[in-house]
Amino acid sequence: MDMANANKNEVLNKSDIPNWALPEGELFARLGADTVHGLSAAEAAKRLESFGPNTIVQTEQTPAWKLFLRQFKSPLVVLLVVAAGASFAFQEWLDGTAIVVVIVINALIGFYMEFQAGRSMAALKKMVPVSAKVFRAGSLSEITIETLVPGDVVYLEAGDMTPADARLYESVQLQADESSLTGESVPVEKEPGELSADTPLAEQSNLLFKGTFITKGNGRAVVTGTGMNTELGKIAHLVGTSEQAATPLEKKLEAFSGRLIKITVGLVVVIFGVGVVGGKPILEMFETSIALAVAAVPEGLSIVATLALAQGMLKLARKKVIVRKLSAVETLGGTTIICTDKTGTLTLNKMEVEALVSPGGNWAKSENAAELPAKNLPEAQYRRLMQIAILCNNSEITAGKKSIKEIGDPLETGLLKFALRLGEDINKLRKQSPKQSEIPFSSETKIMATLHKTPEGNLVFAKGAAEEVLNCCSFLLDGETNAQMTPKARMAWLAEAEKMASSGLKVIAGAFKMEVKGSKELTDNLVFAGLFGLIDPPRKEVPAAIRQCREAGIEVVMVTGDHPAAAKAIGRQLGIIESDDADVVLGKEMPDYEKLKAADKNRWAAAKIFARVSPKQKLDLIRVFQENKAIVGMTGDGVNDAPALKKADIGIAMGKRGTQVAQDAADMVLRDDSFASIVVAIRQGRVIFDNIRKFVIYLLSCNMSELAVIAIVSLLFLHFQLKPLQILFINLVTDVLPALALGVTAGGPDVMKHKPRPTNEPIIDKVRWRRIFFYASVITAATIGAVYFSHFTIHAGDGWAPALCNNILFFTLIFTQLFHVFNMGSIELPFWRTEVVRNRYVWFAIGACIGIIVLLYQIAPVRTALSITPMSVADWGVSIGAGLLAMVVIRIGRNLPFFKNEKQ
C-alpha cells in the first residue's frame, strides 16, 4: 500500500515539474510529441477539438446598450434634452415629445454608424491571417496558427512570430524579441537544454513564448501550450477593453466642431436677445435658439468620418491591401515618395534559374529542354553546384500532380525547382547529408553557410551575394581541381557577375569546402564553384502604376539589397530611370547619418535607385527624405526592416514573403506584394480624404444656410420663421443620408493628377471657406427669395399668410440642400460626368429623403407637429424650382477664379 502511494506521489511530482525543467524525452512523452514526423492529421484534429483553437480570448467588447447610451453624452444632445424639458414644463406636449423623438432618432443613427464602423474593423482583423510552419505527418507545411495544438512540432526562423508557447530542442544562433512579454528591449539568446524549476520567466532560455518574435537564426520546437494556456493568455485578463485612439483627422474635426460651437453660442445669444426685445415669446425664442445651435454644428461629423475611414479600409482590403491603422488612411493621400524594394514588389518573385556560369563551363537555358547543365559542365562542377542549391537551403518543395507546393524563400525554392527539373532527388540527398550547423543569411552579411555530414566527410556549402562570397574564397573549382583564387581571378568573376546582373538576372554565387579542423569560421577559405543566374520577371502592371505616380507628383525610389546592375536593368524596364546614365547609390558609398554632408544628402535626394543597401541605411535614407518635408512610404519584408517601417510615415509590409515582424511594424500589408497595390492604396487614401472633405463642406454650407435664414428672418422681424421642430427635421432629412452617400463616392478621374496635399493642410482651407460662405449665401437667398416670389406673384394681393410663408421657407430649404449635394463633384468635369452624379448612393439618398417627405406629408399628426399646411402645385413648383436654381447658380459660381485656386 505504501509502495503504491509512493509511486502515485512520484507521478504527481513529475507532473508538477514545469516545462522548462523537464528532460526533453520526458516532456515530449508528456505531450505525445513526435519530433521526427510530427502529429498525424487525425491526431491534430482530435487535439484541436480537445484543447480548442490557439487564440487569445479578447476582452469583452462594448455592449450594444452601452454603445447606444454613449450617443447621449454629447453636449448638444444635453441642450436638446433641456429644450424638451422646457417644452414639457410649459405644457407644450407636442413639441416636447417631438424633440424627444428627434433625440432618439439621432442616437439610433449615431449608434448604427458607430456599430457599423466597429464591425468593419472587426472584419478587417479577420483578413490578416497569421500562419505557422509545422511538421505534420512527416512533412513541413503551413497552417493558420489557430489550428496549432500542444505536441505540434514547429519550425521558426528570423522574422517569424512565435505562434504558441513551445520548448526548443534544436536551434541555430536563435534570438527572440520578448519585449512585449518581459519588457526586455534587447533580443535574448535561446537554446535547448534543461533549466532549474525556479528559473524566472525572463531567463527561461529554452522556451519560446506566444506573441514574441524571432530576430535571428532558426530552430525547431514542440508546442507546450496554446491559446489561453500560454504566458500571453495568462495575462490577457489583465488587459481591459481599450478603445481605438482618435485619429488626427478625428481630432481635427472635434476641434473644428468645438470652435463652431463657440461661434454659434455667440450668435444664438444675439438672436435670442433681438427676438425677446422684438416681443416674441421667451419659450419660442429659447427653443429656437437651442435648435439653432444644433443646426449650426454637424454633431455627427466625427462618426461619419470614422465610418468613411473604416469602410475605406474594407474597400482596400478587397483590393488586397490591409491597412492596420485608421490614421494611415489619412497619411496615404499625402505620400510624396515611395521607397520600394525590387524583388517581389516590382517583380513577380517567381525565381527561375536561367544560367550557370562556372570556371569549368557555362550553361544557359534555351528552348531545347534536352540541353541540360550536366552536358555542359564537368561532373564535379555540376555535382557541387547541385549540392549548394539543395543543401545550403532551408526551403521545401513538394511536387504534386498539377503544381509544386513551395514553402520558404522564393530564391531558395527557385533553386530547388531547378534541381528537381534536372532529376535530382532532393530528399535523398538531404538524408544522406544531414545538416550539422548553420550560419543563417542576414541582410548585413549577405551570405549563408551550412555544415553537413556527407559520405565524403564534413562539407561546408555557402551561397550569397557574389562580391561577399568571392571575398570569402581562397580557391576556385575548375573542373575537377581546385585552383588558387588570385586577385585578378576575383576581379574577373566580379565582372562576370556584373555582366549577368546588367541583363536583369539576379546573381547568386556558390562555394564549398571540406571542413578543416581549427577553422574559426564556416565561411573562410571557401572554394568558388560558380554563379547562378536567376530571372525574376517584372510585374506587367508596374510600369503603368509608376507613370500614374509621376502624374500624381509622387517619386518612386528603388531601394534594394540586390546587385546595382540588376537594379538598374529593372529600373530601366519599369520607367523608374530613363537612361543608363542615371545615378545608382551603393550601400558602401552611404556614410552613417551622423557623418552625412550636404552633398551626400543632395545626392540621396536626387537618386532614384539605391543598391546593396542595409536596413540601417534604409532608416538613414528615410530620415534624409523626411528632413526635406517628404511623406515617405517604405516597403519592407525582413525582420531588420522593422525600424525603417516604423520610421516611415507609411510602413508597407509584404503579405506573401514578409516576416511577421515586418507586418507587425507596418501600417499597411500588401497581400499580393505588388507595387501596383501601393498606388491603389494611395489613390483610395486620396479618395477617402476628398470624400470626408466633401461631406464636411456639404454639412457646413447646409447648416450655415439654416443659421443665416433664421438669423435674417429674426433680425428683420419678418412675418414668418422656421419652427424648432422644422429645423431638427431638416437636419435629419438633409444631413444624414446625403452625407453618408458622399462618404462612399468612388472618386473623380483627376484624383491622381494633382500633387499630394501637405500634411499640415487643414480640412477646410481659405479657398474652401470662401466656397462654403458662397454656397450658404446662395441657399439662403434662394430660400427667402422663394417666399417673396410666391407672395408677390402667385399670391399677389392676398396679404401675408405666415403659415404658407413658413411652409415655402421650410420646403425650399429642404430642396436647396438636397440638390446642393450635386455641387460637391469635381469642378473640372461636366455636371453629368462628375463622381457625385455618378454615385448611385447619392441618388438613393435623395430618393429616400423625398420619399420620407411625401410619406410624412400624408400623416396628419406629423403635419400638425411640423406646422405644415396644404400647398398648391404652384407653391411646390416654387420650392423645387428655387432649389434647382440655387444648384445652377452655385455650379456656375464655382468656376469663378475666386473659388478655383484649389482642386475640389
End-to-end Cα spacing for the chain: 90
> Which residues touch 866 (CB under 8 Å, ≥6 apart)?
723, 725, 726, 729, 810, 856
State the pairing for strand pair 555-559/609-611: parallel
One-character DSSP codes across 379-428: HHHHHHHHHHHHHS---EEEE-SS-EEEES-HHHHHHHHHHHHTT--HHH
Q: CA geometry: angle at 460 spanning 458 and 462, to 5°? A: 165
CA dist., res. 248 & res. 269, Å (int): 32
CB 80 within 8 A of CB 290: yes
- Say which residue the cell 444648384 belongs to: 887
Among 761, 766, 269, 749, residue whose Cα is nearest residue 548 = 749
DSSP H helices, 674-735, are 675-715, 724-734
Count the neighbouring beta carbons within 10 Å of the beta carbon of residue 256: 18
CA dist., res. 726 & res. 738, Å (int): 18
CA dist., res. 617 & res. 575, Å (int): 24
DSSP state of 791: I
Q: Which three cell numbers stand for residue 211?
A: 506573441
CB 395 within 8 A of CB 418: no
CB 842 within 8 A of CB 821: yes
CA dist., res. 304 & res. 878, Å (int): 33
CB 485 within 8 A of CB 528: yes
Is the four-CA dihedral 724, 725, 729, 735 of positive or negative sign?
positive
CB 145 within 8 A of CB 210: no
Three-state DSSP class for residue 459: strand
- Say which residue the cell 449615431 belongs to: 110
Among 140, 145, 182, 136, residue whose Cα is nearest residue 163 = 145
- Say which residue the cell 569549368 belongs to: 360
Set 34, 160, 165, 341: catalytic member: 341
CB 294 within 8 A of CB 76: yes
One-character DSSP codes across 213-236: EEEEEEEEEEEEE-GGGSHHHHHH
Q: Which three cell numbers stand for residue 273?
A: 436677445
One-character DSSP codes across 614-643: -HHHHHHHHHHHHHTT--EEEEE-SGGGHH
CA dist., res. 851 & res. 273, Å (int): 38
Q: CA geometry: angle at 898 spanning 893 and 900, to 5°? A: 80
Residue 834, phi then psi, degrees to nearest 5? -70, 155
Q: CA geometry: angle at 119 spanning 115 and 121, to 5°? A: 120
Among 252, 334, 337, 318, residue whose Cα is nearest residue 688 = 334
Which helix (H) or strand (E) covers residue 255, if one does?
A: helix 248-277
In 178-277, beta strands by DSSP E: 188-189, 207-208, 213-225
Is 875 marked active-site? no
CA dist., res. 173 & res. 773, Å (int): 67
Distance between alpha carbon 295 and the CA centroid of its chain, in Å? Answer: 36
Residues in the chain, total: 904
State the catalytic residues.
341
